[in-house]
Amino acid sequence: MIDINLLRENPELVKENIRRKFQDHKLPLVDEVAELDKKRRAAQSEIDSLRASRNALAKSIGALMREKKIEEAEQAKLQSKSVNERIAVLESEISVVEEQIKKDMMAIPNIIADDVPLGKDDSFNVQGETFLPAEEKPFEIPYHLDILESLGGIDLDAARRTSGNGFYYLIGDVARLHSAVLTYARDFMIDKGFTYCIPPFMIRSEVVSGVMSFEEMDNMMYKIEGEDLYLIGTSEHSMIGRFMGEILPESSLPQTLTSYSPCFRKEKGSHGIEERGIYRIHQFEKQEMIVICKPEESDEWYEKLWRYTVELFTSMQIPVRQLICCSGDLADLKYKSCDVEAWSPRQKKYFEVGSCSNLTDAQARRLGIRYKNTKTGKNEFAHTLNNTVAAPPRMLIAFLENHLQADGSVDIPEVLRKYMGGKDKILPVRK
């Protein structure tokens, strides 16, 4: 949510930002909010005037009663009653107007960074830096599902029977590898100075609407029937919600947190052939990083966060690159965002394994997350950022393809061996 003062003072800037995001259908919202805001302020001004009049009437009634001017006092009481009735009508109107303003403001996208590339969809995203050479294997690499099955590491048929499509059982050394990567990712972030957290896996609707747009919520979130609770799609949701309504001491910033959680997503829509298997599923686990900081620090933290993911993947000898998200590919609350993509030697292309976002004060405004500025003495909105550390199963796909050997075994890099009981490879149970 943007600052309404910005819309009041520079509505054309807000409109141009909407155009840059290719959301022209939202342009009328700017004028609608401006008109509603004028109506609200006019009503509030009348209420203030009426309250002053009511106070004056109250004083006059007391004076008239002391002077035994009963009839005049009764007339003043009637006037005071009429004023109260008018105030009640205006307050009711303001409540309706404020609700519509809030609805409109939550649909208006956050102002995006000047250096965000322009484009209507993800086909306009721009390649950034690459890390480690993307090498092709001297042998044919099977589809990731075939690799998993050859290692005796997955059971999709049983998962379909128990839960339906979009779920899986991981088994044996593959399940252990899955946990090993998450544990390594946790320790990696702790070593970077982040505090480890395990958050609630369900959140209330006021938190959901605070951390994402309505469109995202509809496409992603599972609602618990009969409860005001949603299953989280990422731990960012409950981690940011933790600070809802708080005024943080400036000395406590930045808050640097790394969180583990299962994640639940509807994954609405149809997907291509490379999204079969376990690329898009309804339930997975993830290690996340969250930062809450002062506004002047968020650009620096954005750079740090996505580079931490790069460092983690390259430490596991997986080639990656940065992909800078264009304006049309940014969710409404994002100021800027980039993906970290891993090299797929089977597909001979990169695919997304993580996403880093700077949301400036958009989430903080929705959730009321502020800090006490010691220089100004004012309470100001904080900035929030989030980034994926590691999210199996996509990370698992990249790992298997890059470490698969010609004999069907999978090498375990040095950094993971202590989490795998000293194992340096996973052997196939069938070829």
Tens of pLDDT, residues 257-310: 999 999 998 875 544 434 567 888 889 999 999 999 999 999 999 999 999 999
Q: How many residues does the chain have?
A: 431
Structure tokens of 417? Answer: 């061996």
What is the identity of the amino acid at 245?
G
What is the identity of the amino acid at 252?
S
Structure tokens of 37? Answer: 């805001």
Q: Contact, 10 vs 34, CB < 8 A?
A: no
Say which residues have a Cβ less than 8 Å from residue 132's Cβ, sequence separation at least 6: 314, 317, 318, 319, 320, 343
In this prediction, residue 276 carries a pLDDT of 61
Give the mean model confidence (pLDDT) for residues 181-191: 98
pLDDT tens profile 125-175:
999 999 999 989 999 999 999 999 999 999 999 998 999 888 999 999 999
Average per-residue pLDDT for the chain:
93
Is the pLDDT at 115 greater than 80, yes or no?
yes
In this prediction, residue 431 carries a pLDDT of 53
Architecture of domain 122-426: 2-Layer Sandwich (3.30)
Query: How do beta strands 283-293 and 255-264 pair?
Result: antiparallel
Query: Domain locations in the chain?
Result: 4-107, 122-426
Fold of 4-107: Helix Hairpins (1.10.287)
Q: Is 349 helix (H, G, I), strand (E, B) or coil?
A: strand
pLDDT tens profile 355-396:
999 999 999 999 999 999 999 999 999 999 999 999 988 999
